[in-house]
Homo-oligomer: A and B are copies of this chain.
Amino acid sequence: MSRIPFIDLKNELARILLTRGFSAEKAELAAKICAESSRDGVYSHGANRFPMYVDYIDRGIIVVDAVPSLVSASGAIERWDGNLGPGNLNAWAMMERTMELARENGMGCVALRNTNHWQRGGTYGWQAAEAGCLAMCWTNTMPLMPPWGGSDRRVGNNPFVMAVPRNDGHIVLDMAMSQFSFGRMHSHRLAGEKLPLPGGYDAAGNLSDDPEAILNGGRVLPIGYWKGSGFSLMLDLFAAALSDGSPTASFDGRTDEYGISQFFMAFDTKSLAMENSVATITAETLDYIHAAAPVEDGGEIRYPGERTQETRQENLKNGVPVDEGIWKKISKL
């Protein structure tokens, strides 16, 4: 593991994207989104994923020049087509548009079809919180999890994000519907580590904490068993139906993920005159949570996004950890 200064990591990624036909502005934003994921400790969706991003570009699955186009508008809700552009740039643009709608109408929604993998979902939660908005967003994915009671993969893990802005550090939840994200399971597998808790079933149908056994021939565990399976299905149906896009079912048999559906929603604290109430309610709630008796002596209770901010500070100070093999691979792109 090397520690690369954040700015060097970002510039290296941007350099590569410029060689793939990204404009200077787009290369800068796409590189920033990716490098910030690693900076925030979500290595699986940061530098570790970058070679796959470039591979999708090189194979034409991601259309470098494409930008989202408006399909239809109905007041505070709009439907857009992602035209298979870079998923991270599409999602960023759509959250910006969602917040414009929220500033005009109090709240705004955008349903996006025909886009690509957005990398770290939390990116768009931090983006919204930084701009003073409460936000929710989610994406569908290829079939990655069995529906509850089934053994073959027919629902997505459909990452889901909620964000609340706060002066002393935003509160951002970023969770996949699988107990562990594929990114995290891949990271543990890469590091040769077990998962901290059972995260799926092995090929023989036993609960397992071995990412290798789960990813090869096994099946991942939805959060809360049947609940995560059902929730994931609903997120898929909402995203696909509201965008008039593709549901997970339509990706059956694909080896590459593209043309997915996403949904973005934002509430502008300023337009809704709720800046004070958000500050008061979050302060009261986080004080209350932090004061819980820990299960283990000296244990700490965190709010969603709290550890992210600690990791961010550490990685900005000491450099962003990047796997040596990944860094070599990136340098050759």
Interface residues of A (CB under 8 A from B): 72, 74-77, 105-107, 109, 134, 146-152, 154-155, 162, 164, 171, 173, 175, 179, 197, 205, 223-225, 227-228, 230-231, 233-238, 240-242, 244, 247-250, 252, 267, 271-274, 277-278, 281-282, 284-285, 287-289, 291-296, 299-304
Q: Is the CB of B292 within 8 A of A173?
A: no
Q: What are some 12 contacts across the A-B interface (CB < 8 A)?
A: A76-B76, A76-B77, A134-B242, A146-B295, A149-B302, A162-B231, A171-B237, A233-B285, A234-B304, A240-B285, A249-B285, A249-B288
Complex CA gap A254/B73 in Å reads 46
Q: Is the CB of B238 within 8 A of A272?
A: no
| Contact A289-B106, Cβ < 8 Å, known A164-B234, A241-B164 | no
Which applies to chain A's interface (DSSP): helix, strand, loop or mixed?
Answer: mixed
CB neighbours (8 Å) of A155 from chain B are 289
Q: Is the CB of A150 within 8 A of B295?
A: yes
CB neighbours (8 Å) of A72 from chain B are 273
Q: Is the CB of B292 within 8 A of A154?
A: yes
Q: Which of these, B105, B150, B237, B294, contacts A151 with CB under 8 Å?
A: B294
CB neighbours (8 Å) of A224 from chain B are 175, 179, 223-224, 228
Complex CA gap A75/B102 in Å reads 10
CB neighbours (8 Å) of A76 from chain B are 75-77, 105-107
Tell me, rounded to whole Å, the shortest Cβ–Cβ distance linking A142 to chain B: 12
CB neighbours (8 Å) of A228 from chain B are 223-224
Residue of B nearest to A76 (CB): B76
Complex CA gap A134/B235 in Å reads 11
